[in-house]
Amino acid sequence: MTELTRRGLLAASAATTAAAATPAAALGWPRKAATPAAPASWTPDATTVASMIRNREISAVEAVEAAIRRSEALQPKLNFMVNSDYDRALEAAKKGGQTGPFAGVPFLIKDLNDYAGTPTRNGSGGYRRTAPAAASEPWVEAALRAGLIPIGKSASPEFGYLPTTEPLAYGPTRNPWNTDRSTGGSSGGSAAATAAGVVPMAHATDGGGSIRIPAANCGLFGFKPSRGRLTGNTDMRVIALSVGHVDSLSVRDSAAMFAATERTETGAPYRPVGLVAKPLRKKLRIGVLSASGNGREPDPEVRAGLDNAVKLLEGLGHRVSETKWPIDSARFGQDFLTLWSAGAAMDIQAMARLLGRVPTPAEAEPFSLGMAEMIAKAPEGAVEAAIARLAADSAGYDRWFEDLDVIVSPVLTKPPVPLGYVSGDVPFAELSARLTDYVGYTPLHNVAGAPAMSVPLHWTADGLPVGIHFAARAGNDALLFALAYQLEAAQPWAQRKPGVRA
């Protein structure tokens, strides 16, 4: 059972339509060359920023300095960062020598992952005084090789367990579309900073929806890769739920980062995809799934987004038909919670060893403690039985694609919920019920190790983003990227900007 810690379970057991020639002034940077004016509402993506640096319209130092200014201006409003690293970022930019597709582009690393020289606090008060990490995790090293310059660590809920970013120790991260609403989680700090234009993309991880949910809530593109696709993601077991990637403004940023961090060594589970750069040309068989895993139909605004997405897909020539979950989804939800709770129990034990005593409620959140208690009271063999059933569910997921290419559904049953709705201090039983009701579309893909993505295709009447979810068979990442390019071209989202932005 020692492999079931969150760090072990989820990690160790684990082309946009805007022109690239955007004036530096559009980013708040000094103008280096006369270029055509960009739309006032458009924020440059990471590919554009990297191009500007290569073409010497701006320098990496100017890019990082501008990101720091934006961060300082918006951090008090959004609380997206838990640890700044401005001095080292500026030092790296001045030193230069960055190579790769994103050389010199400012970036954020998620608080659940080690970046050498900065503490990893795991969104938890119990790690408030932890020492800086001695080494970076493999994916973070790959991001540095891609040329990115981290300016700090982005906020996460405690241990990444909740679909909102409201760590009790560090305060809630606020959604730039409406600061009373949740960003989603667990990559909510990264999503908020990207949506607000602080950085053009940021690190995210996904162990049950944590790339896709914040992307859905913040109007971004969020792609969850197949298990084993990217650097550092080598454990192919069902319990290896978590994968790392980014939330981004554009499809091409995500695709380029995927290519830059892809595993290409002998023995990798899949043949490398490389850079996917073109929209889909063939017609797909697409299954439509409206009800969540517990049978709940989405709220009317989310249903409207799904219906509009279906019309868009049909207009593009795809064959669309209704489908159903290929598993006993109610039982799956309980088994997933059991596995999740086993990780929480290991995390609480690790915190106790770090502190030299049992964590207090000020150091470990009620929901984390509640999951650990649930496992302590579970019958002997309950976790192992849940894992065996989840392995069977993974096989059921694969059979889903014998007659379909892609599944489309909502990401969540609701638009971005108010802060506090699914925070870690809600009583355990009530919070568990809310989570079952709210998050039922995304966890199966982590168990199956399959690619999935949230695409920003809908906004509510009061201006909140609603992501639409697309999923494919394990290993079929390239198909989803090509479909994403097609959707981005057919229904662009780059012109939509939140009220709180740089």
C-alpha dihedral, 128 to 132 to 133 to 134, nearest 10°? -150
Lowest mean pLDDT among 30-34, 216-220, 383-387, 395-399: 30-34
Q: Which helix (H) or strand (E) holds 263?
A: none
Helix, strand or coil for residue 119? strand
pLDDT of the residue at 20: 34
Percent of the chain at pLDDT exceeding 90: 90
pLDDT of the residue at 362: 87
The answer to whether residues 365 and 168 touch, using CB atoms and an 8 Å cutoff, is yes
pLDDT band of 21, cuts 50, 70, 90: very low
pLDDT band of 40, cuts 50, 70, 90: very low
The tokens for 381 are 């063999």
The answer to whether residues 143 and 203 touch, using CB atoms and an 8 Å cutoff, is yes
Q: What gap in Å lies between CA 195 and CA 131, rounded to an integer?
A: 30
> How are beta strands 174-175 and 106-110 bridged, if at all?
unpaired
pLDDT of the residue at 36: 33
* Tens digit of each residue's pLDDT (9 = 90 or more) over 353-374: 999 999 998 899 999 999 999 9
* Tens digit of each residue's pLDDT (9 = 90 or more) over 435-458: 999 999 999 999 999 999 999 999
Query: Is the pLDDT confidence value at 34 over 90?
Result: no
Write the CB contacts of 287 (distance below 8 Å, at least 6 apart in sequence): 320, 321, 322, 323, 400, 404, 406, 407, 408
pLDDT band of 43, cuts 50, 70, 90: confident
Residue 501 Ramachandran class (φ > 0 left, ψ -120 to 50 alpha, else beta): beta
Catalytic residue among 13, 59, 71, 110: 110
Angle in degrees, CA 123, 129, 133, rounded to 5: 80
pLDDT of the residue at 1: 34
Catalytic residue among 210, 248, 254, 368: 210
210 among known catalytic residues: yes
Domains (range + CATH), the chain: 2-490 (3.90.1300.10)
Write the CB contacts of 133 (distance below 8 Å, at least 6 apart in sequence): 114, 115, 116, 117, 118, 119, 120
Q: What gap in Å lies between CA 414 and CA 466, rounded to an integer?
A: 8
* Tens digit of each residue's pLDDT (9 = 90 or more) over 375-389: 999 999 999 999 999
Lowest mean pLDDT among 293-297, 381-385, 404-408, 460-464: 293-297
Mean pLDDT of the 461-482 span: 98
The answer to whether residues 43 and 501 touch, using CB atoms and an 8 Å cutoff, is yes
| Through-space distance between the first and last CA atoms of the chain, rounded to whole angstroms | 46
* Tens digit of each residue's pLDDT (9 = 90 or more) over 140-170: 999 999 999 999 999 999 999 999 999 999 9
pLDDT of the residue at 11: 31
Catalytic residue among 156, 186, 409, 432: 186
pLDDT band of 19, cuts 50, 70, 90: very low
For 382, other C-beta atoms within 10 Å of its C-beta total: 16
Query: Is the pLDDT confidence value at 10 over 80?
Result: no
Question: Strand (E) positions, 47-113?
Answer: 81-84, 106-110
Query: Is the pLDDT confidence value at 16 over 70?
Result: no
pTM of the model: 0.93
* Tens digit of each residue's pLDDT (9 = 90 or more) over 164-186: 999 999 999 999 999 999 999 99
Query: Is the pLDDT confidence value at 472 over 90?
Result: yes
Q: What gap in Å lies between CA 337 and CA 345, rounded to an integer?
A: 12
Q: What is the largest CA-CA distance in the chain?
A: 70
The tokens for 181 are 């609403």
pLDDT of the residue at 502: 86
The tokens for 482 are 């090509």
Q: What gap in Å lies between CA 187 and CA 80, rounded to an integer?
A: 10
